[in-house]
Amino acid sequence: MKLQFALDVFNLEDALSLTRQVRDYIDIIEIGTPFIMESGMNAVRRFRETFPEKEILADTKIMDAGELEAGSAFRAGADYVTVLGVTDLATIKACVAASNRYGKKICADMICVADLPRKISELEELGVQGIAVHTGVDQQKMGRTPLDDLRIMKKYAKHAEISVAGGIKYHTVPVYAELKPDVLIVGGAIGEAENPAAEAKRIYEKIQSFNV
């Protein structure tokens, strides 16, 4: 399992500074949707320049113009780009075409997808390389967790890498890790910690204990 650090509410310089603190304990840097809305592809370019050894995910949540928008993020330096699973299959197919052209990966964000088994089958048939369990912030406030969706994805996904997000913290890592996703996504638990480096370290080490 890899640890993906999600940056959602930081300005660019603060985000770079924070990530420098935790760089030894993260595998993937996620340039979150609010961050991209604020700083655009410049954020992706700056992180690629600053952290050449890390994988970078641009959480673009593409809904239309798949090839154009995915291509823009890949050219900026993203290794992964997200598309919304609820969008038209033609858009997803266009995103996959862009990922193949640049030798990178598309991850389908499954927020609000109703029929997960059917959608997983469609996405894998199109060649989507990753599928993300995503319980949104507003859904979390209503008491929903990603665990049930993660179980479904583990059951039906045959090829795609599975990542999971949704308020994951140190004490909940074992619950998710036991289901063996490929990537655990952590944001606020690290970014809002009193000591982000120490928190990233203990979350990373907890994940590694499940990788043996």
Domain count, the chain: 1
CA–CA distance, 124 with 136 (Å, rounded to integer):
23
CA–CA distance, 107 with 145 (Å, rounded to integer):
20
The more confidently predicted of residues 145 and 157 is: 157
Q: Which residues pair with 2 in a beta bridge?
A: 183
Question: Looking at residue 51, what is its pLDDT?
Answer: 98
Residue 130 near residue 107 (C-beta atoms within 8 A): yes
Residue 208 near residue 3 (C-beta atoms within 8 A): no
pLDDT in tens, 163-174: 998 889 999 999
Mean pLDDT of 51-65: 98
The more confidently predicted of residues 98 and 135 is: 98
CA distance readout (Å), 6 to 65, 127, 129:
24, 25, 19
212: confidence class by pLDDT, cuts 50, 70, 90: confident
Spell out the SS3 assignment of 114-139.
Answer: CCHHHHHHHHHHHCCCEEEEECCHHH
Question: Looking at residue 137, what is its pLDDT?
Answer: 72
Mean pLDDT of 61-65: 98
Question: Looking at residue 124, what is its pLDDT?
Answer: 98
Percentage with pLDDT > 90 across the chain: 89
pLDDT in tens, 21-38: 999 999 999 999 999 999
Boundaries of domain holding 133: 2-208
Percentage with pLDDT > 70 across the chain: 99
Q: Is 49 exposed, middle or buried (0-12, 13-18, 19+ CB in 10 A)?
A: exposed
E strands present in 15-160: 28-31, 55-62, 80-84, 105-109, 130-134
How much of the chain is helix, strand and coil, in % rounded to 5? Answer: 50, 20, 30
pLDDT in tens, 125-150: 999 999 999 877 777 678 777 898 99
Question: Looking at residue 147, what is its pLDDT?
Answer: 92
pTM for this model (two decimals): 0.95
Q: For the chain, give the mean pLDDT.
A: 95
Question: Looking at residue 32, what is its pLDDT?
Answer: 97
The more confidently predicted of residues 144 and 118 is: 118
